[in-house]
Structure formats: structure tokens, C-alpha cells
Amino acid sequence: MTEANAHVRVENLRKTYQTRKAGIEAIREVQMEVAEGEFISILGPSGCGKSTLLMIVGGLLPLTSGTVAVASDPVSKPRRDTGVVFQAPVLMPWRTILKNVLFPIESLGLREDDYSDRAHELLEMTGLTGFADNVPGELSGGMQQRVAICRALIHNPNLLLMDEPFSALDAMTRDLMNQELLRIWEEYKKTVLFVTHSIREAVFLSDRVFVMSPRPAVISEIVTIDLPRPRELAIEETPEFNEYVAHLRGLIEH
Amino acid sequence: MAGQIAGPTAIAFLMLVIWHLSCIFFAIPEAILPTPVKILQTIFKHWELLAIHTWPTTSECLMGFGLAVVVGMGLGILLAFFPMFHNSVYPLVVAFQVVPKVALAPLFIVWFGLGTLSRVLLAFVIAFFPMVVNTYAGILSTDPLMVRMAHAFSANRWTVFCKIEFPNALPYIFSGLKIGITFAVIGIIVAEFVTAQKGLGYLIVFAEGNIDTPLLMAALTVLSIVGVVLYAAVVALEKLIVTWDVGQDLK
């Protein structure tokens, strides 16, 4: 990959949180280059600063020094061509599912009518047909997170940032969601930055896994996952898959 | 729903029966405690007089309440928007709340006369505080993650307020409205006691002066009905607007 076609480029990124007494170094030194359409996982222990990194790429947190560029544009505020999925669904309980999915259209000042077909299409794709007029309280946690994914994709962003989106779900739902996410990704081929602390999840989903050290964070290793696509859950039983898992576990524990 | 109403209705009816029988059994003078039947008769007999005095009480109550809603919500929003403004103004608002507002009634007469203005303003100052506090608390209770989500999709300050903070505050605002409407009724009645011009409060004082306890109790009954109807109207509006599931603490 050359610098010219990097979709996301992070150079010499450093992030220090200022508390009353001292600065807390969250990210010491991060370099990243992500190509268009790549599925990247950022893997690391809890509290290592991986969410911080994602929020900086999303323009939701200021950086201390270094540069973060998306499509060769330095990021200083949230971009219109980025979609974000958070750890919690953060749906508005007073809105229907459809209106929740359409929220970015309103906040970006676009015409809602132009996107309602797309909203229905996304809901259909995530198995939520027939729930458009329900309210979030009537949906399970997994379904709510699917709504959040639809919302992140409604304005057709090129970059999807996902901050441990399935960590609150039970293991079976999580497997299901991972499969669905891959299906959506195969369909739309967006660049995805996926933060997780689950090694299996990272291997299953990604083209490459960026391993982060505990705080202050650096990228300690980049592992290319050379497994065939499209991937099904059965791939988790193959020796190749488990070799990757073992290798990554070794990297995280040392 | 029917079951919820049946219980209280039965108990209320039973108490009215006990009340009625006690009055007869103990031969309680009408000037002390008229029977429920006598009160009902008085309402029908003097319905025109009661109606004449019900209207100003209701309309002035709604004016004071409306003013409290507009000013209270406005101030609540300003307090939530500008921390500096909050730091300097909120302690004063709380300090003012400690003043027993009904004690201001005589002062209001001095300042604003014996007319509608004095009564509306008294209802306003009483109903105002719960509106400010609830609006402010409602906006502040917004989940910061939801605001961050909105920012992620390029929402500006105005969008965040209109689409996130304000709807989020609505259940709180309705709590304020429910307290406010009952406070406004209190304010109007106290003001009618002291201005002694018109209204159910005036009628109560007038009846008391004539030792006409049945009329006094008739006015009191009508006043209670007005209070319940106004409160029920706010609850109905809440049911219409706040259709989503809010935390138990607000229900």
C-alpha cells in the first residue's frame, strides 16, 4: 500500500488527557495506514486507549499531537462521510426505529424523503423488516444494535467506525451479529475500523488486526489475517483460524 | 383501568355515606358541617352563582400557569445552556424559593392593585419554581453518549437541543407541569382570599362571612373539581406526548 491511496492515515499520534494534577498519557505513539475497503480490527486489553484512538479518527476527541487524515483530509471534527457505532445502541426512546435510523439525515441537513427507501432496505438487510414503526424499548439488545448499524450506514459513509459494538451482547447473539456484519460489509465494501477486546472476533472479521499494548498505547503488532472470504462461523473450527487466535493471544499476554 | 377506578370510588362513596349518616345521627348543625346531600343541593340551587365565580378562577389560574410555563421553561433552558449564567442565577432562584410566596399576596396588592394582575402574578410566582427546576434537571439528565452520537453525525448545538435534549427533558417538564398546575390553583385561591373581588376563593370567604357553610362547601367542591380537571388535562397531554417508556422514578 502506498501513502497516496490510504483511506485512513494516522501518523505519530499522541494523546494525553489533562487531569487537575497531571497529564495521563493514553496514546504514546500510533501509526496506521488503512486502505479503502479494508476491514481492520484494533485489538487490545480494556482501557488501553483503543476507543480513544477510534474517537480521534471520528473527530469526536481532539488529539494532542500528530496527524489523523481521512481521504487525505486532516480530521478536526466529525466528517459527513463517516458512520459511528458505539458500544451501546444509544437510540432515542421517543423515536420509532425508522426515525432513529434517519437521524443522521436530519442532523446532516439532507432530505429525509430521499433516504427512507434506503432506511427500509437497511432494516430489511439486518432482519428488522416490520419493526420500522416500533420503538426501541420493544426491541432486544441485539436488535437495537442492528438499528445502530443501520443508522451508521444510512448516509452512505465511506468509513465505518465501530467501538466494541457487540461487547454487551451474549455470545450467541454476538456470533450472529458478526456474521451479519460481514455480510453487510461484503455488500457495501466500506472501510471499517472495529475496536474489540475479543481475539476471536477480530480474527473472524478482519483483513488485518492492529494489536495495541496496554496504556500508554502503541501498536505493538500488525497481523494480516489471510483467511478466505466470504467467511462463515465454521471457519472458527479450522486450524488456521486457531493458529491466528493463539498467535494474537501470545502477543497480548507478553 | 376500570379496576383502578372501582376501588377508590367505592371507598369515597362509603366515606360520604358515613359522613351523611354521622351528620344525622349526631345532629351536627348545618353551619358546622352540612351533609353531602345538602352540599349537592346547594350546588344545584346556586349553580349560576358558582359558575360566575368558577370562570375567573379557572381563567386566571391558566394565565398564571401559562406564564410560569413560558418563563420557567425559558429560564430552565438558559440555565442548562450557560453554566456561567447558572452559577450566578441559580442560587438566587433557590433563595427566592425559600420565601413563602403566599406571604407576597398583600405586597402584590400594594404593587399591582386588587385586579386580575395581582392574582395572576401570585399564581405565576408559585408555579414558576417547579417549571425551572424540572426543565433544567431534564436537560441535564441527557445521556452524554447520546450527545456524542449526535455530534458523530455532525449535529450542531441547535439540533442537539431540539432533537435530543428537549425531548429527553419532556418527562421531567411534565412532572413540573403537574406540580405547577396544582400550585397555580393554590396561588389563585389565596389571591382571591385577599383581593376579595371575585372567584371561588372570594366566594368561600364571602360564604364564611355569612356563616353559610353549605355554600362554602359547595364552592370548595367546585374548586376541587376545577383542580382535578386541570390536573387531568395536563396528564392527558402527557399521555399524548410522552409515549415512550421512561424510568420508573418519573412515572
CATH number at residue A212: 3.40.50.300
- Same domain (yes/no): A171, A246: yes
In sequence order, what are the residues at sequence separation of 6 or more whose Cβ sits closer than 8 angstroms to the Cβ of residue A207?
A38, A39, A40, A224, A225
User: Smallest Cα–Cα separation from B100: which of B132, B136, B129?
Assistant: B129
Pairing outcome for strands A23-35 and A82-85:
unpaired
A102 and A42, same domain (yes or no): no
Residues A69 and A165 in one domain: yes
DSSP state of B162: I
B149 in A contact zone (CB under 8 Å): yes
Of A157, A179, A197, the one marking the end of a domain is A157
Give the Cα separation of B235 and A90 in Å (integer): 28
Tell me: pLDDT of B111 over 70. yes
Q: How many domains does chain A have?
A: 2
Tell whether domain B34-250 is in CATH 3.40.50.2300: no
Residue span of the structural domain in which A76 resides: 3-81+161-253
Residues A234 and A153 grouped into a single domain:
no
Which residues of A fall below an 8 Å CB-CB distance to B? 58, 60, 77-80, 82, 84, 86, 88, 90, 92-94, 103-104, 106-108, 135, 137, 155
Do A67 and A104 have their domain in common? no
Local confidence pLDDT in tens for the 254 residues of chain A: 445 578 999 999 999 988 888 888 889 989 999 999 999 999 988 878 899 999 999 999 999 999 999 999 999 999 999 999 999 999 999 999 999 999 999 999 999 999 999 999 999 988 899 999 999 999 999 899 999 999 999 999 999 999 999 988 888 888 988 998 999 899 888 999 999 999 999 999 999 999 998 878 888 899 999 999 889 999 999 999 999 999 999 988 76
Q: Distance from A30 to chain B by nearest Cα, in Å? A: 22
Q: Please determine, for residue B156, whether its predicted confidence score (pLDDT) is greater than 70.
A: yes
CB contact under 8 A, A92 and B164: yes
> Could you tell me if A87 and A50 are in contact, meaning their C-beta atoms sit under 8 angstroms apart?
no
- Per-residue pLDDT of B32-57, as tens digits, reads 999 999 999 999 999 999 999 999 99
Residues A22 and A135 in one domain: no
Q: Is the domain of A37 the same as that of A17?
A: yes
Say yes or no: A98 and A198 in one domain: no
C-alpha distance from A233 to closest chain B C-alpha (Å): 31
The residues near A226 (Cβ < 8 Å, ≥ 6 apart) are none
Is the domain of A20 the same as that of A132? no
Domain boundary among A157, A192, A214: A157
Please state the ipTM of this predicted complex. Answer: 0.90
Residue A86 lies in a domain: no
